[in-house]
Amino acid sequence: MWWEKAFNRLGIIALISLVLAACNAPDMTPSEPTAPTYENEAYTQFLIRLTRLSTEAVQPIPETVPVQPKVVKLGKELFFSPQLSRNDTIACASCHILSQGGDDNRPVSFGIHGRKGEMNSPTVLNSGFNIAQFWDGRAPTLEAQAEDPITNPVEMGFDTLQQLVDKLNADAHWRQRFLDTFGEPPTADGLRFALAEYQRALITPGSRFDRYLMGDQDALNDQEKRGWHAFQHLGCINCHQGINLGGTLFQKIGLYKPTLMEEKRWLGRFNVTQHIEDKFVFKVPGLRNVADTAPYFHDGSIPTLEQAVAIMIEAQIDLPPQPEIIDDLVAFLKTLSAPLKEVGLEP
Ligand code: HEC
Ligand code: HEC
């Protein structure tokens, strides 16, 4: 649709041209819900303020986010529970291994009964900063995303989300946990909200790059600084921007060298919009912790970061990939990694 295209372009312009006077820092105080609610309005407002306040195309990850600790706790239990699959074998955490970058380190994922999926599992870390979820962005929010794996026949295998809600209701432990958290037994909304709230809490602040952005000149070495310079000058930053260095735009893969991508079967945004011009358009992936999330691209076809960067230079920038520039860029990308913080669950 026209407005989606306009939004994509505006996204770049808006982020780059937002030069606003310094105002109050965003309020990041987590707040406990007073009454059961399946929304986190504070988080939405926080994201809006964060984007408005930014004067740079790329921003550090905030030290904390406004989430509700009680809901985060329930969400974590659900995320790690194999009971969320039909035969009690697969948890969200089976394909999103939090200690290994939040993905599963495989080209494509394996779900219930060892069934093979078709897409590479993206990281769930910092996913609350993305404008949409999935490679084709078909889920507008983390709440909307949660249903998909549960009812996917090659992932968790339920026919409907209600089947899982009924299963949780029949289990005394889960009934009590939902009652404690929301004051009511398991519902589809409660389940979606708890999973989403947990993932919003999964952030990785304090990387060396973020320390550099915040003024610590010694946080990067000379090669890493050259890489950051190249990232900006070559124009990687036109697509990989925002807090996640990605997750803010939909862009075509193989912009200048479609032939490099010809064998790629998955049509991306086209599946959502059915517009010819959206063929091979994907959500620009965030590059946070990218050194820990190999293999790369939506089909997991590229095993190393060096190869992924070389393809980007050729296909998205239209320059010959030179080994020195690749090395500098890879060195820079490695500075985007930082340990996981589960906001709301800190001791
Ligand atoms: C069998 C493996 C598997 C399981 C189980 C699984 N996922 Fe995923 N997840 C994937 C794959 C593959 C994708 C990418 C699919 C796509 O883009 O079409 C994905 C995408 C996502 C995304 C989107 C991230 C982004 O940046 O676009 C989120 C969030 C997510 N999963 C959370 C969950 C949650 C919550 C659960 C449990 C309810 C779960 N996943 C269960 C494999 C899995
Ligand atoms: C025109 C937009 C655009 C530009 C410019 C661009 N990228 Fe990308 N980048 C993408 C898209 C879209 C993908 C996802 C492609 C896919 O999965 O098929 C991607 C994927 C990646 C990946 C793989 C991430 C993952 O998790 O699979 C890396 C690494 C990357 N880009 C780095 C770079 C670097 C470094 C540059 C500059 C040399 C750059 N990109 C320039 C749009 C862009």
**Structural domain boundaries of the chain?**
69-202, 208-334
Could you tell me which of 312, 310, 338, 334 has the C-alpha nearest to residue 324? Answer: 310
**CA of residue 251 to ligand 1 center, whole Å:** 20
- Check if 282 has its Cβ closer than 6 Å to any atom of ligand 2: yes
What pLDDT, on a 0 to 100 scale, did the predictor assign at position 259?
A: 61
The tens place of each residue's pLDDT in the chain, 347 residues long, gives: 444 444 444 444 444 443 333 334 444 455 555 556 899 999 999 998 888 877 789 999 999 999 999 999 999 999 999 999 999 999 999 999 999 888 888 888 888 888 888 889 999 999 999 999 999 999 999 999 999 999 999 999 999 999 999 999 999 999 999 999 999 999 999 999 999 999 999 999 999 999 999 999 999 999 999 999 999 999 999 999 999 999 999 998 888 887 656 655 678 888 889 898 888 899 999 999 999 999 999 989 899 999 999 999 999 999 998 999 999 999 999 999 999 999 999 88
Could you tell me which of 50, 58, 43, 44 has the C-alpha nearest to residue 12? Answer: 58
What pLDDT, on a 0 to 100 scale, did the predictor assign at position 52?
A: 82
Q: Nearest ligand to the C-alpha of residue 161?
A: 1
Superfamily of domain 208-334: Cytochrome c-like domain (1.10.760.10)
Looking at 143, 147, 155, 224, which residue is catalytic? 155
Q: Using omega within 30 degrees of 0 as the cis cutoff, is the peptide bond preceding 295 cis? A: yes
What's the predicted TM-score (pTM) here? 0.90
Work out the number of other CB atoms within 10 angstroms of the CB of residue 26. 18
- Write out residues with Cβ below 6 Å of ligand 1: 84, 90, 92, 94-96, 109, 111, 117, 119, 121-122, 124, 127, 130, 133-135, 142, 145-146, 149-150, 155-156, 195, 199
For residue 28 the two structure tokens come to 């990041």
Nearest CA to ligand 1 atom 2: 95
Pocket test for ligand 2, best of 239, 288, 322, 327 (most atoms within 8 A of CB): 239
For residue 190 the two structure tokens come to 């409660």
One fold for 69-202 and 208-334: yes
What pLDDT, on a 0 to 100 scale, did the predictor assign at position 108?
A: 86
CA dist., res. 154 & res. 235, Å (int): 38
CATH of domain 69-202: 1.10.760.10
Q: Which atom of ligand 1 is nearest to the CA of 111?
A: 1
**CA of residue 284 to ligand 2 center, whole Å:** 6
